[in-house]
Structure formats: structure tokens, C-alpha cells
């Protein structure tokens, strides 16, 4: 089933304003303290010791004193970082035991959250290929997963449905080509209060 994402992790906790991306991404007072970084499609190189953590979400937290940088350092094997400096956006993933980059993307533009190309030197670092992105809102996660698996979110993809004794929020993504639908059923209370690794 994969790694659960939501549990014991507060949503939309405000951090310090990232002035580089205010109001481009966030309005004043709404720069998020926490979010997720995810990498997918990476291929291991001979120098790398570990299998690339494709499709794993890394929890990230705004760096103290540097409000446009988010670090994910809770995993013992990996550390990841998103930096949104004026005119430059960087996203990277490093294997701790070798200090090799598994993903590195530097884009000459401010406030970029989606990095479509790994810029590591082919098979000099730990991995090459793939893409990465940052999510700061729960709706971003099913949307990005849908894009990764060539699904598209449908217009009006969120709708309420009653289940006996339960209150769920439903997020739907669909692949129009083969008429496949995926429904994400989320307990509304937990969704609004908690997140997990």
C-alpha cells in the first residue's frame, strides 16, 4: 500500500515569511512551516550504495533563520533540501553514507516547486534521471501522484459523500484514456489535523 502520509504532523502551520515567494506562492503570513519533498524515476549509479527512494515523501521543515529553505533530515539514510532564493530554485537529495547526490536540480527562476529534470552528472553521482517536487498543501499529493502515473485530476475532483457513521473527504483522479478512476478517501478530521511520513 505504500507509506502513509497523514498522521501526527500538523497541517498548514505558518512559518516565517519567505519574502522571495510572497506573494508569488503565498500571501503574507501564510508561508508554510512544513511540507513534503518527493523524488521519482531515479536510476541508481554504480557509485551509489542505496536504491533510490523513488516515490517516497520526505517531511521537510523551514530552516530557522532562512525562511526560503526547507530541510528534510529525519531519515537516517537521506537528506533533502528545497531552496527558493531570488532568481534560483534548488532541490536536492543526498545519500548520507556517501554524501553523493541522487537528485540535483537548479533552475534559474524564483519559486519553482516542480523540478522536471535531474541534473546530476550521469553516473558520477549516486543516481541520475528522474524528477522531484515539493508539496505544501495536502491536495498537491494526489495531484502529483496522478501526474506521475499519467492521470489527470478531474474538474470538480473533490466532492462530499456520506458513509454510515463516518465523514470522509473524497479526492478523485482519473485517466481519461482507459477510463480508470482512483478515489482517495480521507477522514476529514485526521486530514485537517495530522500528517505522517
- Residue-level pLDDT, tens digit, the chain, 197 residues: 344 444 444 456 889 999 999 888 888 998 999 988 999 999 999 998 999 999 888 989 999 999 999 999 889 999 999 999 999 999 999 999 999 999 999 999 999 998 989 998 877 899 999 999 998 875 555 555 555 555 554 444 444 444 445 455 555 556 556 566 666 555 544 444 333 33
Query: What is the SS3 assignment for 13?
Result: coil
In eight-state DSSP terms, residue 32 is B
The answer to whether the pTM exceeds 0.75 is no
Q: What are the phi and psi torsion angles at 134 (to 5°)?
A: -115, 140
Torsion of CA 170, 157, 8, 101, to 10 degrees: 140
| Helix, strand, coil percentages in the chain from 3-state DSSP, rounded to 5 | 10, 45, 45
Cβ-based neighbours of 18, under 8 Å, separated by 6 or more: 25, 26, 31, 62, 67, 68, 84
Q: Which residue has the cell 529525519?
A: 74
What secondary structure does DSSP assign to 52-67, as a single string?
Answer: --TTEEEEEEEETTEE
Amino acid at each position: 500500500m505504500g507509506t502513509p502520509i497523514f498522521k501526527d504532523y500538523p497541517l498548514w502551520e505558518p512559518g516565517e515569511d519567505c519574502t522571495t515567494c510572497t506573494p508569488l506562492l503565498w500571501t503574507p503570513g501564510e508561508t508554510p512551516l512544513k511540507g513534503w519533498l518527493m523524488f521519482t524515476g531515479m536510476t541508481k549509479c554504480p557509485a551509489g550504495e542505496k536504491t533510490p527512494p523513488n516515490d517516497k515523501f520526505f517531511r521537510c521543515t523551514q530552516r530557522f533563520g532562512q525562511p526560503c529553505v526547507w530541510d528534510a533530515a529525519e531519515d537516517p539514510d537521506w537528506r533533502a533540501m528545497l531552496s527558493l532564493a531570488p532568481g534560483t530554485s534548488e532541490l536536492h537529495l543526498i545519500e548520507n553514507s556517501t554524501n553523493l547526490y541522487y537528485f540535483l536540480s537548479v533552475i534559474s527562476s524564483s519559486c519553482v516547486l516542480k523540478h522536471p529534470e535531474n541534473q546530476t552528472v550521469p553516473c558520477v553521482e549516486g543516481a541520475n534521471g528522474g524528477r522531484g517536487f515539493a508539496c505544501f498543501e495536502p491536495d498537491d499529493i494526489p495531484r502529483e501522484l496522478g501526474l506521475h502515473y499519467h492521470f489527470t485530476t478531474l474538474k470538480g475532483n473533490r466532492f462530499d459523500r456520506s458513509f454510515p457513521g463516518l465523514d470522509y473527504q473524497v479526492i478523485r483522479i482519473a485517466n481519461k484514456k482507459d477510463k480508470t478512476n482512483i478515489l482517495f478517501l480521507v477522514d476529514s478530521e485526521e486530514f485537517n489535523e495530522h500528517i505522517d511520513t
